[in-house]
Structure 1
Amino acid sequence: MCADTPEYKDTLNLPKTDFPMRAGLPKREPEWLARWEKIGIYDRLREKAEGRKPFVLHDGPPYANGNLHIGHALNKTLKDFIVRSQQMMGRDARYIPGWDCHGLPIEWKIEEQYRKKGKNKDDVNVVDFRQECRKFAEGWIDIQRKEFKRLGITGTWENPYLTMDFHAERVIAEEFMKFLMNGTLYQGSKPVMWSPVEKTALAEAEIEYHDHKSHTIWVPFEITEFYPRTYVEGTGDPTKDAALLEAHETADRARQQELLSAKVVIWTTTPWTIPSNRAVAFNRAINYGLYEVTKTPDECWASVGDLYIIADKLAAEVLQKARLEPGMYVRRSAVTDDELDTMTLAHPFRGIDNANGFWDYDVPMIDGDHVTDDAGTGFVHTAPSHGADDYECFVKRNWLDRMTHNVGEESEFLPHVPLFAGLQVFDRKGKEGKANRAVMDKLIEVGGLLARGQVKHSYPHSWRSKAPVIFRNTPQWFASVDKPVNDGQDDYGKTIRERALTSIDQLVKWTPISGRNRLYSMIEARPDWVLSRQRAWGVPLTCFTKKGALPTDDDFLLRDPAVNARIVEAFEAEGADVWYMDGAKERFLGNDYNPEDYDQVFDVLDVWFDSGSTHAFVLRDREDGAADGIADLYLEGTDQHRGWFHSSMLQACGTKGRAPYRGVLTHGFTLDEKGNKMSKSLGNTVSPEDVTKQYGADILRLWVAQSDYTADLRIGPEILKGVADSYRRLRNTMRYMLGALNGFTEADRIEAKDMPELERYVLHRLAELDHVVRKGYDAYDFQGVFQQLFNFCTVELSAFYFDIRKDALYCDGDTLRRRSARTVMDILFHRLTTWLAPILVFTMEDVWLERFPGEDSSVHLIDIPATPKDWLDTPLAEKWTKVRRARRVVTAALEIQRTDKVIGASLEAAPVVHIDDATTLKALKSVAFDDICITSGMALTADPAPAEAFRLPEIEGIGVVFEKADGEKCQRCWKILPDVGTHTHAGTCKRCDDALS
């Protein structure tokens, strides 16, 4: 809409703004960051929020050892959405960013540097080594902090929390010593996942699974003892009973002789564990058979007459692996579980030369529910030092004295193991060593192999070195999850497991709810927590053990509050390095104990214990933490159900009796556009830095807001182009409002009750949206919030309200209609900028400052405005729903005429609209429906629509007959009206003539 003549064009109230169409975000965003830092915006928010109800989102600490990836950006952006939206809805929303600083990845980097210089870590003073690790972490913290801030993340960046701060190290040690004092800490010897490359135990959270090719072997175990259980039911006749008993005993002797000639076949994918075999397990629910070899092919390790016991379901497959086809063997009989139960086997290396009787022990048959006939042979080779199920079978029978210690920290057979000493399962690079093949060769040599092969399967690897791990029995420190915690905090259970499960069900809100089920099942089934790591960079297990005492003895662990107090005091002042300094033992034990009587533990804590303790030194101890030490929300990726959510739950349940959080939100992983996992080798990664350089951080933030974070999220060039297009459309809406509001003052404001219906309808929609936005932000539904706001801006504002009111805004004089429209524009401005500020932090600041410049001005210091209840007007909304439906039919009819070039613009039309429904007709007649449809005229009638009338199938009862408008075109507003040219100002309609007058 624009005047035809220059003199009239100058009389229009056209939008005026310097707000650019092109955002220039990559260049301008750093300027806003500098401005926020200059005005101290985070501290000002804390001052403003004093006295408000706190909202504490506790930051899960990223690891300080590399540049940010897109998953980091997703995580931190979601957190920022929450903190900012809660703040703008009236809470005191605090955010303390933190970093995880201890642990193997950093230690590994320093070791790599040493290796390049030809140095050996073990030759370096441990305190010096730890200082290098600290310096390495500090460097990456500075880099990551800048990268996070570049994304527009708000928080206490100048005062974050670090797990390597002296106070943090003190509290971590203090929290560990609570386990020491409450009776849940113990030293045990059990198989743990062990990395031969990194030479340390690993927790489940440090494991990832990859395809791996393993050797498979089928090994027959000779039966050395078998005692049939003879039972004869008497007849009452002594003579008959004696004869019956003799017959059974004869049969039993024959059966005994038969089975003593047989062998039990096991299958394993870890040949290297055979030297540590101590039992063979079966399942009473499986059917087993005795199979005799009747014929053999060439190159077969079986012989005619061999007898093998195998699960019936698997027998054909097993014997085929031994190159025995059907017809080369027969099933002689079933083998009962009672028979298996009385068998004793011989180790395959029993009596082997040059072993000095190392394997000359009995191998019992044991029953176990973990044995299946889905694969293998129906029997499980049991090495309790190298498998979780194997270990539990021995615990159940109190056979821990039969555990083996045959494999060292580099996965090498230890010197006492005959024939194989020094051979490794995996070498220092994670490649296969010589152990597997040596064991197989020896089995072949002694006739102890029935078949062999290879299988590709999912196998545990260290998530840091990417090398395969082994199960290895080592002395480790554990926190019992089922032993009663002696701390008097039993409101939610007596044990860590009970407290955790109760917390999950009663104290925590899960978003999405599937997170509850996942963590619950993990806690429900998890073993005791392995706390110790055999490394140097971390918080040590600050405890002492008595020399000569057994781990089961009451005095094995020194539990003395005075000793503990000296340790924490020293850690607070000097950090955890003090534990490794000369004279540390004497210093901490003091005068009450003889240092020669105690050993100092030098293992370091699992880093998950570090991060699991953050609730204590962040939420509890900081002034800007949480008054009760409990966070409103923990937010991380779904992998943290086995990581930070998990360890924080266990740690807090062991020290404070309950979960450290009231809410847990989880998001998915980031994938490329095709749904593939991102990988540098595939070249499909998207780095936050690249996105901010090309588009700006607000585009990355908008991608997060438009995505369903509860599932895996896709990102790539085409997706980002789509996001940028959405951004441009939204920016244009804001730009239009800025132009329309040029010169608006409080003197122009109109009360809602005095406004035309259309404005009051828009206020009604704002009231509805305010409820939707607040509810959505509270539910962390950012996708829902943005979709609602985007649709409102593009459909209800740009394509409806703005389109209709352009005429009044441009062409009206100082009318109630124009002032009302500008008042609504002002209301829209304040709500849209604050509603969108948590998401588009830079753009909404740009929009705000365009209208309200000033040294201390910022949209982020503003709360979302309260919405008057009387804006909600349901009857009015129902009426305008009818009006908008009718408008759709009219505009669709006119679009056909425009496409056919019958008209150039809708103002050339004055259609006849036929309406069947009387209520709708009344509604349309009560409003300026021609203005709403942007036509110069309109006829509304209840007459039936003629056949040629335009209709929309989805909107019944409305037909439109096109007619051209009568009259002349107003040279100022372009409406075609009969009165044009009859007024004082030439070529104008009455409205424009009044405006010019």
Structure 2
Amino acid sequence: MTDDTAARDYRDTVFLPKTEFPMKAGLPQKEPGIAARWEQIGLYKALRDARRGREKFILHDGPPYANGDMHIGHALNHILKDMVCRTQNLLGRDAPYVPGWDCHGLPIEWKVEEQYRKQKKNKDEVPAKEFRAECRAYAQHWVNTQREQLKRLGIMGDWDNPYLTMDFQAEATIVAELMRFAENGNLYRGAKPVMWSPVEKTALAEAEVEYEDITSTQIDVAFEIVESPCEAVRNARAVIWTTTPWTIPVNQALAFGPDVEYAVCCFGDRMGDHERPTPEGVVLVAAGLVEQFAGRVGFRVIPMQVIKGSELAGTLARHPMHHLGGFYASPRPLLPGDFVTTDSGTGLVHMAPDHGEDDFDLCKANGINPVFAVMDDGRYRDDWGWLGGADERRMSVINPKFNAPDGPICSDLRDAGALLAASADYEHSYPHSWRSKAKVIFRCTPQWFVPMDRVMDWIEPKTRAEKGWENEGGAIDPAEEALCASPTLRERAVEEIARVEFIPEKGRNRIGAMVEGRPDWVLSRQRAWGVPITLFVRPDGTYLQDPEVNHRIVAAVMQDGVDAWEEARKAEFLGPHYNPDDFEMVTDILDVWFDSGCTHAFVLESGRWPDLTWPANLYLEGSDQHRGWFQSSLLQSCATRGRAPYDQVLTHGFTMDAKGKKMSKSLGNTIDPLKVMETTGADIIRLWALSVDFTEDHRIGDEILKGVGDQYRKLRNTFRYLLGALDGFVGDMSDAGELPELEVYILALLSELDGKLRKAAEEYDFNLYTRLLVDFCNEDLSAFFFDIRKDSLYCDGPDSDTRNAYRTVLDLLFHALVRYAAPVLVFTAEEVWMSRYPQDGEEDDNGQRGSVHLLEWPSVPGVRVDAAKWDALCALRERVNEAIEPLRRDKTIRSSLEAEVVVPASAVPEGVSDEQLAELFITATVTRGQGDSVTVTKTSDQKCSRCWRHLPDVAQEGALCGRCDEVVAQLDAASA
């Protein structure tokens, strides 16, 4: 070829990719502008309009708490929800997203009280309406703050019209839902032990409690037996063991295991260094626990006789403090309890019905009632005979000093000769309030409950006709027939758990075990900020069930919010048919989980959000919500509608630090999503959230985010290459003609990817979705297709069939990949789209304006190829690259284009030429040999000064190959 142009610079004849899309993302600067544009064009509304009439997909947002800045858990949760809705919209469904907030309850009230304490103000001295107004303002502040933070994260939704549990309409709906329980008799007031916080002075739900390891005092206390049909124990003392010494002042009985063997024992020699004398008399403990008991008291314990537990029936003992008289004077019966075990202790359990579920149930069954000795602040009543009133040692029962071996309880028991052992060394898990972090107690107080095992009135046969359950001809509707088969709330909920799809599947067992074993639902709280329990109670404890009264109450709350429930309006609510003096207004508020459990009613059913429908397709929250929102929603809906308000439940794990430890401000290992957005951008957080296996606990840290940043740059560079390579391209598949095999293979890979991504989106497998997308861009495109075809793109002439076919496939890849990436990298995908289709404020007929987020799932050709052939070629290409690499490392060759390769003939699929192999391997030549190995030598052919390929037709150094000579000549002629 021509050799007289050796000195010419051919760079201006090479068709290098051309784009203004920058390699450096600058996301923190760009993202806010893109988000502002979405608001300007009304993107969310435009998407709703575009999908109207399509198949619905409803994700009901579980309300985050309006209390504090967004943390990394919030970010993960909302990114997952956003990914669900965006992929469903991309698939062509109508998937609206209405965000919401939980605004009532103790956490907000506690924060407002903290502000009061700093100002030396007493909350109880502030008018209730004023206090609630401050709680409302506090919640609204954090709603506004979190809303802007979530919008900055790229979460798309109806941000101008979110739902708030403190909206008057929501509060009225919550009251109406409560009335549905009341009108059907599915509420009762009873005294049962519940989780109680002496610091916050209220009952707590299980979901408001967290467990921490603590060290407690353990004591062994002797109760003198005063009467028994069993002669062997008449002179013995029954020994109980407990880690809650403060419950001894409320003891009313002892429990034994009927099938447990008990030993009547005497004391022997001292086993350790003890100053006190040998305990007197004989004691009764479980035979299998004698050795443990001896270790605690420090003396040998010698069994003298063994009896069966059932022989203790009818035995009476007296309280160690019986000398105080009054409450302590009456004998304490020994009662059979099937919950008594011999895992630890003494096999005898002291019963305080005020402070334990088993205690309460056993004592109630035997006619023993609680005495309500402990007040709401955790101290004994003023009139209590032991440690109450003016006793200077009086303090809260959760105070460690109160329970210490030298504390008032142990001291008094020791003085009475009843304390056999006491040590402050027992390590165990104990419940704490997740807000105040203080220990909680089981405390028996009058509360309002929803029964789990009572036959629900709304499925009794007499009500079928009234409720319209019968079809024409009197046949019972199949859905209602199912209700009749599971008449209690527990049974109905368990059946719904079996029906609902849980992702991952282990969630079904988790919530199922909780529902099967949970006690009656405690609805009442003794606080101020929340929805009131709007009931009128008669002196006999029954409550009014009048729909007209209830209607007036609901209407008032709709008008004035929770402040409407006040004594001054008592006569107004009751109306002319009732005497206000005959009723007491309940002052308790509702469990905040009842609030959130009702959100399906006032969000999906109210009509305020017409795009939403009931029931929801999906609820998505952290795995802790199996005992929280998932369960309260399930129970509330099953009790009022006979089914769960959702068909699927998706749960995610918790975000841990890079070492797998729980994140804590005190440990300094938290990752603040707000700071990450300020430094690297929201799309980096999104890519991280959608790259981890979120169904399990997962990790985040600086190094992990750096790795995510590397992934992001590779994806960004893929789009940058596509934009540059498609500069000026206006064709489509109809212009491509017959595609080369390589392009057909890539389309087949795209078709395969499309099916996998669609399946991953439908199954919420976003970790797989993101990994498939990243791997396709990095491995199948950048490292393979783009690498092979860059020669044709850069150096073929403008009319080249190969180059045109390549760009046609690149165009199809662009439209597919930008859609696939849009739910993940919401800002970057929009930037990519606008780079190719600059926005002028108008949308053309092809949808090439507006936003990438208005597009639907791409239409991809269903191409198939000989997979075995291409697997063999790719495997051979890998072998060739491995054989070239040593020569590149020792600088024998600088590029694979200098390599002449011999490959095993047996490894080459039929129908593939040597020229095609050289093209695929990007080498000078490829020939076939008879051996099994791949060999590489440096070519002796000259390098083309334009395309840098080493070819036989390059006459000398600085000359051009035949193709480049022809292209340059065409370009020169055109420019001339």
Query: Which TM-score band (shorter chain)?
Result: over 0.9
**Which residue of 768, 777, 799 corresponds with 2:752?**
768
Partner of 1:809: 793
Return the match for 1:481 from 452, 460, 478: 452
CA distance, structure 2, for counterparts of residue 105 and residue 558 of structure 1: 31
Structure 1 residues 858 and 433, CA gap change in structure 2 (3 angstroms): same
- What is the match of residue 373 of structure 2? 406
Distance apart, 1:966 and its partner CA: 4.4
For 1:311, the equivalent position in structure 2 comes to 286
- Determine the structure 2 residue equivalent to 1:235: none
SS in structure 1 opposite 2:925? Answer: coil
CA distance in 2, matches of 1:535, 1:681: 30
What corresponds to 1:472 in structure 2? 443
For 1:471 and 1:367, the matched residues in 2 are separated by: 22
Question: Aligned to 1:415, what secondary structure does the other structure show?
Answer: coil
- The residue identity in structure 1 corresponding to 2:922 is I
1:386 paired with 2:372, answer: no
Give distance in 1, aligned partners of 2:95 and 2:173: 25
Structure 1 match to 2:317: 345
CA contact (8 A) 1:302 1:450 kept: no
- Distance of 1:751 and 1:711 partners within structure 2: 48
Aligned equivalent of 2:492: 499
> What SS class does the counterpart of residue 802 from structure 2 fall into?
helix
- Greater shift in the superposed pair: 766-775 or 431-440: 431-440
1:835 aligns with 2:804: no
Instruction: Kindly provide the CA deviation profile for residues 725-776 of structure 1, in whole angstroms up to 9, marking residues without a partner as x.
Output: 1111111111111111111002x64567711110011000010000000100
Taking the aligned partners of 2:77 and 2:394, their CA distance within structure 1 comes to 36
Structure 1: gaps (5+ residues): 229-255, 946-956
Q: CA deviation at 1:967?
A: 3.3
User: In the alignment, which of 930, 946, 954 is matched to residue 918 of structure 2?
Assistant: 930
Shift of 1:356: 4.0
Q: Deviations over 1:505-563 (max 9, x none)?
A: 01x1111001000000000000000000000100000111112x1x4xxxx11000000
Letter in 1 for 2:697: D
- How far has the Cα of 1:896 moved from its partner? 2.0
Q: TM-score, normalised by structure 1?
A: 0.90
Specify the SS of the correspondent of 2:237: strand
Q: Percent identity?
A: 49
Counterpart in the other structure of 2:605: 620
Matched, 1:368 2:343: no
- Write the deviation string for residues 57-77 of structure 1: whole angstroms up to 9, x where unpaired: 111111111111111111111
Deviates more, 1:882-891 or 1:779-788: 882-891
Cα distance between partner residues in 2 of 1:315 and 1:534: 44
RMSD (Å), alpha carbons? 2.1
Contact 1:411/1:424 (8 A) holds in 2? no
* Partner of residue 804, structure 2: 819
- Counterpart contact for 2:378–2:396, Cα < 8 Å: no
CA offset digits 1:188-244 (Å, max 9, x no partner): 00111100000000010000011222221111111111114xxxxxxxxxxxxxxxx
Q: Displacement, 1:259?
A: 2.0
Partner SS state of residue 457, structure 2: coil
Contact kept, 8 Å, 1:177 with 1:564, in 2: the verdict is yes
> How far 1:6 moved relative to its partner?
5.1
Q: Shift of the alpha carbon at 1:285?
A: 3.0
> One-letter code of the match for 1:935?
T
After superposition, where does 1:835-914 map in structure 2 within 5 Å? 835-854=820-839, 855=841, 856-869=849-862, 871=863, 873-875=864-866, 877-914=867-904
Code of the aligned partner of 1:898? R
Residue aligned with 2:904, SS: strand
Are 1:750 and 1:820, in contact at CA under 8 Å, matched by a contact in 2? no
Contact 2:745 2:865 in 1 (8 A): no
| Structure 2 CA distance for partners of 1:473 and 1:921, relative to 1, 3 Å | closer
Residues 968-987 of structure 1 correspond to what in structure 2 (within 5 A)?
Answer: 968-981=942-955, 987=959
Give, in whole Å, the separation in 1 of the partners of 2:29 and 2:800: 42
**CA–CA distance in structure 1, aligned partners of residues 310 and 592 of structure 2:** 48
Quick one: which of 218, 242, 266 aligns to 1:268?
A: 242
Structure 1 position 183 matched with structure 2 position 185: yes
Report the Cα offset of residue 908 of structure 1. Answer: 1.6
Corresponding position: 1:512 with 2:504: yes
Q: Does 1:792 align with 2:776?
A: yes
Q: In structure 2, how many angstroms separate the alpha carbons of the residues matched to 1:70 and 1:415?
A: 47
Q: Secondary structure at the match of 1:457?
A: strand
Following the alignment from structure 2 to structure 1, what is the Cα–Cα distance between the partners of residues 940 and 734? 35
Query: Does the residue aligned with 2:203 lie in a helix, a strand or coil?
Result: strand
Distance 1:128 1:5 in 2: 87
Distance 1:723 1:171 in 2: 44
Q: Flag the 1:630–1:274 CA change in 2: closer, same or farther, 3 A.
A: same
Structure 2: how far apart are the matches of 1:683 and 1:589? 56
For 1:431 and 1:373, the matched residues in 2 are separated by 29
* Distance in 1 separating the partners of 2:355 and 2:671: 41
The alignment partner of 2:575 has SS state of: helix
Aligned to 1:164: 166
Deviation at 1:499, TM superposition (A): 1.2
2-structure distance, mates of 1:90, 1:394? 61
Indicate if the aligned counterparts of 1:411 and 1:425 stay in contact, CA closer than 8 A.
no
TM-score calculated relative to the size of structure 2:
0.92
After alignment, is 82-91 or 899-908 more displaced? 899-908
Q: 1:135 to 1:588 in 2, by over 3 A?
A: same
Q: Deviation per CA, 1:352-387: give whole Å up to 9, x if none.
A: 1xx342211121111222211111111111111101
Q: How far apart, CA to CA, are the structure 1 residues paired with 2:909 and 2:753?
A: 28
| Counterparts of 1:293 and 1:929, CA distance in 2 | 93
Instruction: Give the superposition deviation at 1:801.
Output: 0.4
**CA separation of 1:300 and 1:562: change in aligned 2, threshold 3 A:** farther
Cα displacement string for residues 902-945 of structure 1 (whole angstroms, at most 9, x for unaligned residues): 2121222222222225xx34243286111111122222x3x421
What is the letter of the counterpart of residue 140 of structure 1?
W
Q: 2:516 aligned with 1:524, yes or no?
A: yes
Determine if contact 1:184/1:481 at 8 Å carries over to the other structure.
no
Give the C-alpha shift of residue 473 in structure 1.
0.6
C-alpha spacing 1:95/1:425, structure 2 compared with 1 (3 Å) = farther
- Partner Cα distance (2:879, 2:455) in 1: 72
Give per-residue Cα distances to partners, 1:145-178, cap 9 Å, x unaligned. Answer: 1111111111111100000000000000011111
Relative to structure 1, is the Cα distance of residues 817 and 799 closer, same or farther in structure 2, using a 3 angstrom cutoff?
Answer: same
Structure 2 unaligned blocks of 5 or more: 460-479, 842-848, 971-976
Q: CA deviation at 1:295?
A: 4.5
- Displacement after TM superposition at 1:39 (Å): 0.6
In structure 2, the residue matched to 1:234 is none
Question: Match for residue 526 of structure 2?
Answer: 534
Could you say what secondary structure the match of 1:591 adopts? coil
Secondary structure in 1 matching 2:446? strand
2:854 partner amino acid: L
Q: Which amino acid aligns with 1:447?
A: G
Within a 5 Å distance, the mapping from 1:666-815 to structure 2 comes to 666-746=651-731, 749-750=733-734, 754-813=738-797, 814-815=799-800
Q: Which residue is 1:242 aligned to?
A: none
Question: What SS class does the counterpart of residue 412 from structure 1 fall into?
Answer: coil
The one-letter amino acid of 1:361's match is S
2:503·2:651 contact (CA, 8 Å) conserved in 1?
yes
- Once the two structures are TM-superposed, the CA of residue 464 in structure 1 deviates from its matched residue by 0.5
1:250 is matched with which residue?
none
The amino acid that maps onto 2:312 is L
The answer as to whether partners of 1:294 and 1:305 remain within 8 angstroms in 2 is no
User: Does structure 2 retain, via aligned residues, the 8 Å contact 1:411–1:426?
Assistant: no
Q: 2:186 touches 2:456 (CA, 8 Å); kept in 1?
A: yes
Any idea what SS the aligned residue of 2:543 has?
coil
Give the whole-Å Cα distance in 2 for the aligned partners of 1:490 and 1:261. Answer: 61
Within 5 Å, which residues of 2 pair with 1:46-85?
Answer: 46-85=48-87
Change (3 A) 1:849 1:627: closer
Whether the 8 Å contact between 1:412 and 1:424 is mirrored in structure 2 is no
**Residue 897 of structure 2 aligns to a residue in which SS?**
helix
